[in-house]
Amino acid sequence: MHKNTKSTLLSALLISTLISGCSDSNAKEEDIKEKEFAVPVVTTLIKQQPISSTYHSTATLESRIDAQVISRVTGIVEHLNAEEGDYVKKGQLLAKIDSRRYQLSLNKAQAELDSINQEYNRLKKLQARSLVSRDQVDKLSYSRQSATAARDLAALDLEDSLIKAPISGFISKKMVKQGHFSQSYQQLLHIVNQVDLQAVLYVPEAQLANVKLNQVASLSFSALPAQAFTAHVRSIAPLIDHKSGTFKVILSLNNEQSLLKPGMFAQISVVFDTHQDSLTVPSDAIIRRDGQQYVFIVKDKKAHEVIIKTGYTQETLTEVMGDISSSSEIVIQGHRNLKDDALIEVINKTPSNTVAKAY
């Protein structure tokens, strides 16, 4: 009887010990699970600042004013006073074509005109005395006009043998050398004005309502990484290209310091509109799901899902509207797998963040 009682007591004691041990083990596992449930995240404060709606594109700079220098006469290039890269002023002598033939033609035309003028004056005197008919005088008058035109053309050919700059600017290309034979209307030089530059954009028709004259555009160049340049919308094409669905916009850029060159490749941002004092967040902080947009707000060591609406996007920032404020702290990393009311641990150590620990 005693043996059975002792066995029973020992068994009960052993079972009680095992149950107690299991309870402690389960409690520890629950604590571990609770601690593991705290998701590490990186946060930042929402910023209140201006944000703009911009259109980004690329274009190649062009000279707004350029000119092809051509020879209107035929002959040997006797003198060439310009090299590529030289700055020339409007009216400056650039080259000279052999003008001897044109000088002789002018002399001949002038002599013929002088002869006709002499005869015309003689007939006019005779006509006054009624010694010649009016028809004779009129006929010689027409010959006199023709000879005058021939003399003027010969003088123009002689003048055209002197090649002058049609605009002020830099010689960008030279297509002839001294001693070469130049044909009539052959291109000799190319001049570009580097002060007035332009960039041509082809903007999608969806942006037609946003583009306005004199809007500001910002230009950057890989050759000048530390500098930004400002341009303005100078003209907007009145037609949409039905093939590409775009319209032409020309930006005007002043280059008085000659830092830029025609042909440079530009990254362009055209500012359509600006909202002042907007709440902005990093674009990566926004989660899009089921047709809605969310951000996670940090409150009481937990992440709370807040529905938002978005406005303008500028570079890496997006304007947001909703149940948030400029003092709200949002999750910007580690939020992709978060759920509403999830326990979090803020791991970035910045003055603007509060470290939330899980207990």
> Per-residue pLDDT tens for 138-190?
888 899 999 999 999 999 999 999 999 999 999 999 999 999 999 999 999 99
Q: State the fold for domain 99-160.
A: Helix Hairpins (1.10.287)
CATH-assigned architecture of domain 71-97+162-192: Beta Barrel (2.40)
Q: Where are the domains of the chain?
A: 35-51+276-346, 55-64+193-274, 71-97+162-192, 99-160
Going by pLDDT thresholds of 50, 70 and 90, the confidence category of residue 349 is low
CA-closest candidate to residue 354, choices 296, 299, 282:
299
Res. 14: pLDDT tops 80: no
Going by pLDDT thresholds of 50, 70 and 90, the confidence category of residue 243 is very high
Q: What is the pLDDT, as a whole number, of residue 174?
A: 94
Res. 3: pLDDT tops 70: no
Is residue 137 within 8 A of residue 127, CB to CB? The reply is yes
Q: Are strands 246-254 and 196-204 parallel, antiparallel or unpaired?
A: antiparallel
The tens digit of pLDDT for each residue in 64-114 reads 999 999 999 999 999 999 999 999 999 999 999 999 999 999 999 999 999
Would the CATH topology of 71-97+162-192 be identical to that of 99-160? Answer: no
CATH code of the domain made up of 35-51+276-346: 2.40.420.20
Q: What is the pLDDT, as a whole number, of residue 113?
A: 93
CATH code of the domain made up of 55-64+193-274: 2.40.30.170
Q: What is the pLDDT, as a whole number, of residue 353?
A: 45
Percentages helix, strand, coil for the chain (3-state, rounded to 5) are 30, 45, 30
Q: What is the pLDDT, as a whole number, of residue 18?
A: 47
- Which amino acid is residue 330, in one-letter code? I
Going by pLDDT thresholds of 50, 70 and 90, the confidence category of residue 11 is low
CA 159, CA 155: separation in Å to the nearest integer? Answer: 6
